[in-house]
Amino acid sequence: MSAQVSEPVRARAPATFGERLAGALERPRVLGSLMLAPAVLYVVFFVGVPFIIAIALSMSDATAGNPSIDTFVGLDNFRAVMQQETFWTALRNSVIITTLTVVSIVVLATIAVEILSREFRGKRLVQVLFMMPWAMPVALSAITWLWLLDSQFSPIDWVLVQIGILGPDGLFGPQRHMYWLGREWLGILSVVFVDTWRTLPLATIIVLAGRLSIPRERLEQAQIDGAGFFRTLFRVILPALAPVLIVAILFTALLVIGEISSVDLLTRGGPGHSTQILPLWAYLKGIESGDLGQGAAIALFLFPVLLAAAIVALRFASRLHKD
């Protein structure tokens, strides 16, 4: 009987750094943490740190001349700003502008999505033109609207005169100018219109992604069952779009309520403080007036409300998505 000679067992070479790294990246937990790290660092350094600084400033007597936060004043800055009439005007205007803008965007985005989800000649050109307000620089768009809403040379007023709404026999009397930015409620409506014009493309893209994800079979089945356009819209499309619409509403509301460029460039909060909003007033109070403590207090006022609204909206959207 011949003896079997076994080969000697060779010692395995230690894994290189590249092999250990590749093995670690194959683990879902490690890969997920690595992919989330840039976003977490961004939130910490560009959101968390400024937020903590703002809280510290709001509870101090810091000014532009003396920005130290050594003196603790508690809630005195919050009490001081709440005793000013401008605060309540700015709060009212912020709520009105945000509400009207969000409602307008939801309605218009739903209409735009139904148009853009269909095939027609020139669709690519329409998509490019539709995205221009969002891609256009804020300053350039504001200058354009300043010309369109000018108190003396407004093309909109000229058109209204030509069609008989303004002028000697017009519906609003003999006046030939509306003074869009010189009257309280016309100024607020002008800001709402400009904010809607600028933010509508973003909301439409969000809702369009949800609209295109609806299975075609569900829409075809509704047509077979005899459902018309409006019944299909309210019974099939809108219920399926509910989670996406909530996300679009949340994003739009957060963008609009923190937007200061439109009011700053169009009305500067005037006439007087009739079109003032909280973010712009916080800037004027804290930066231009130099009262950093009160400016920070104004900026922080809406944070608890917005945080609660965001949590409720996201939970509601998650529940609808599961259902």
Q: What is the pLDDT of residues 32-53, one digit of tens each?
A: 777 788 888 888 888 888 889 9
Segment holding 105, helix H or strand E: helix 85-116
Q: Where are the alpha helices (DSSP H) in 173-225?
A: 184-212, 216-224
The answer to the question of residue 239 being in a domain is yes
Q: At what angle do helices 303-322 and 238-257 cross, to 10 degrees?
A: 160
What is the pTM for the complete model shown?
Answer: 0.83
- Cα distance between residue 38 and residue 40, in whole Å: 5
Assess if residue 206 is contained within a domain.
Answer: yes
Cα diameter, the chain: 125
Residue 293 falls inside a structural domain: yes
In a domain, 114, yes or no: yes
Domain assignment of residue 19, yes or no: no
How many distinct structural domains can be found in the chain?
Answer: 1
Tell me, yes or no, whether 207 lies in a domain: yes
Residue 72's beta-bridge partner residues?
Answer: 60
3-class DSSP assignment, residue 72: strand
Nearest residue to 247 (alpha-carbon basis) of 117, 105, 131, 129: 105
Domain hosting 110: range is 78-322
Is 164 inside any structural domain? yes
pLDDT of the chain along its 323 residues, tens only? 445 555 554 555 555 655 566 666 666 776 677 778 888 888 888 888 888 998 999 999 888 888 888 888 888 999 999 999 999 999 999 999 999 999 999 999 999 998 888 888 888 888 888 888 888 888 888 888 999 998 888 899 888 888 888 887 777 777 788 888 988 899 999 999 999 999 999 999 989 888 888 888 888 888 887 778 788 888 888 888 888 888 888 888 888 888 888 899 899 888 888 999 999 999 999 888 899 999 999 988 888 877 887 787 777 767 766 66
- Domain CATH number, residue 294: 1.10.3720.10
Residue 122 lies in a domain: yes
